[in-house]
Amino acid sequence: MKKIYLKRGKEESLLRFHPWVFSGAIGSFEQDPEEGEVVEVYTSSKEFIATGHFQIGSIMIRVLSFEQESINQAFYEKRLATAYDVRKCIGVVDNPSNNTYRLVHGEGDNLPGLVIDIYGKTAVMQAHSVGMHVDRMVIAKALKQVLGDKVENIFYKSETTLPFKADLGQENGFLLGGSSEDIAIENGLKFHVDWLKGQKTGFFVDQRENRSLLEHYALNRNVLNMFCYTGGFSFYAMRGGAKLVHSVDSSQKAIDLTKANVALNFPDDPRHKAFAEDAFKFLDNMTTPYDLIILDPPAFAKHKDALRNALKGYTRLNQKAFEKIQSGGILFTFSCSQVVTKDNFRTAVFTAAAQAKRSVRILHQLHQPADHPINIFHPEGEYLKGLVLYVE
Ligand code: SAH
């Protein structure tokens, strides 16, 4: 393995087991590595400190291990077996009312750059680093070894998640099997999953528990599900006895998926309507008296420098909802931007409530579910935060 030497004193974060090495910390290369190659990291005094994937960019090394070990199929089997064990502990494996869960959550499972979501007997694998792309076949073999006959298909979906500049010519496709069975079951509700063209791995697995909570607030309410994508929250609201449910997304494809999912779960149910419209415009123009609103927008900030504008965006969006929601209404509001902290988000929503002059109580503080674990040494892994609010 090629060796990389850090600048003096730049081993601090690695000593605290943080899994990233930034380009500014790197002193010298013994030999230039290829993108995606496994390298060994040494301190300036030539002591081994970590093994990881090399990539050109601001994060240059993603640490796979703090030991000197080979990154081969046995390594991935070990990591995947632990990840699987964690999901067994949580109770998401072999659960008849739920065949959908996240098996690997990047740094949270000590596999930076890798995401694997399970939909029944299909695993959808996504590489966010060149190293994981290079290792994809080995990972697929390790996955089959660990899950045995619980996985029959492995779909690789990394066309849009890998750095464009690395020019890897990657295509989405099956690494194993090829079933077109595409129904995810979440808490007994059914969803079409579009592996080929859908967002993320085809479904937002991370809102499972928050959707469940919403079900308990839905009885006799007029529900507005903003940024609905495949309609997740809408079906929980319908099952929970909502009076009417309106789903809004600016993407026509998302609305088509939502309608297909209505047909799967509540065929011809007159309570549901879907609108392909911009959320901000919809909130400005709406006249229906909604008393349960969900705001689950895409990440407004993908990088630190976009933070200020993102916070303004959250304030503007939430203010519109506060201005329109009925008295005694419930607002489920989320941010999935990694760079927006819990406190940042709460301040943005607080500002919105003040500007709309509404009296607001926090009922629940929500976060990502346990199958999206956070590595304690990598606080950046905490990305999803939400508030459930009572608006007087
Ligand atoms: N709540 C969804 C996930 C939301 S993902 C779930 O539970 O699965 C964010 C969605 O916001 C995407 O589907 C995207 O198409 C949509 N979107 C992005 N910008 C929008 C806008 N300005 N108005 C309405 N929808 C928007």
Does 235 sit in the ligand 1 pocket, CB within 6 Å? no
The pLDDT of residue 301: 80
Indicate whether residue 351 lines ligand 1 (CB < 6 A). Answer: no
pLDDT score recorded for residue 42:
98
Distance 282 CA to ligand 1 centre (A): 13
Structure confidence at residue 282 (pLDDT): 98
Cβ(283) to ligand 1 under 6 A?
no
The two tokens of residue 251 are: 């993407």
136-173 pLDDT, tens digit each: 999 999 999 999 999 999 999 988 888 766 677 777 89
186 lines ligand 1 (CB under 6 A): no
pLDDT of residue 366: 98
Residues of the chain with pLDDT under 50: none
- Give the ligand 1 atom nearest the CA of 294: 1
Ligand 1 contacts CB of residue 217 (under 6 A): no
Quick check: CB of 298 below 6 Å from ligand 1?
Answer: yes
* Sequence-separated (6 or more) residues with CB below 8 Å from residue 86: 109, 370, 371, 373
Q: Give this prediction's pTM.
A: 0.95
pLDDT of residue 166: 67
229 lines ligand 1 (CB under 6 A): yes
CB distance 100 to ligand 1 below 6 Å: no
How far apart are alpha carbons 322 and 315 in whole angstroms? Answer: 10
**Candidates 102, 250, 252: which one to mutate for ligand 1, based on the most atoms within 8 Å of Cβ?**
250
The pLDDT of residue 233 is 98
Burial class (CB in 10 A: 0-12, 13-18, 19+), 165: exposed
4 alpha carbon to ligand 1 midpoint, in Å? 42
Q: Which long-range contacts (CB under 8 A, 24 or more apart) does 190-196 make?
A: 190/261, 190/264, 190/265, 191/100, 191/230, 191/231, 191/232, 191/261, 191/264, 192/230, 192/257, 192/260, 192/261, 192/264, 193/119, 193/124, 193/230, 194/257, 195/122, 195/124, 195/155, 195/157, 196/157, 196/172
Query: Is the distance from the beta carbon of residue 241 to the nearest atom of ligand 1 less than 6 Å?
Result: no
User: How many angstroms separate the alpha carbon of residue 254 from the centre of ligand 1?
Assistant: 8
Ligand 1 centre and the CA of 279: distance in Å? 9
Q: What is the per-residue DSSP string for 80-132?
A: HHHHHHHHHHHT-TTBTTB-EEEEEEGGGGT-TTEEEEEETTEEEEEE-SHHH
Tell me, using a 6 A CB cutoff, whether residue 214 lines ligand 1.
no
- Ligand 1 pocket member 207 (CB < 6 A): yes
CA of 296 to the centre of ligand 1 (A): 7
Residue 296 CB less than 6 A away from ligand 1: yes
Q: What are phi and psi of 308, to 5 degrees?
A: -60, -45
Ligand 1 contact via 237 beta carbon (within 6 Å):
no
Residue 199 CA to ligand 1 center (angstroms) comes to 10
- Domains in the chain: ranges and CATH: 2-65 (2.30.130.10), 73-185 (3.30.750.80), 202-391 (3.40.50.150)
Atom of ligand 1 nearest to the CA of 249: 25
User: What pLDDT score was predicted for residue 182?
Assistant: 78
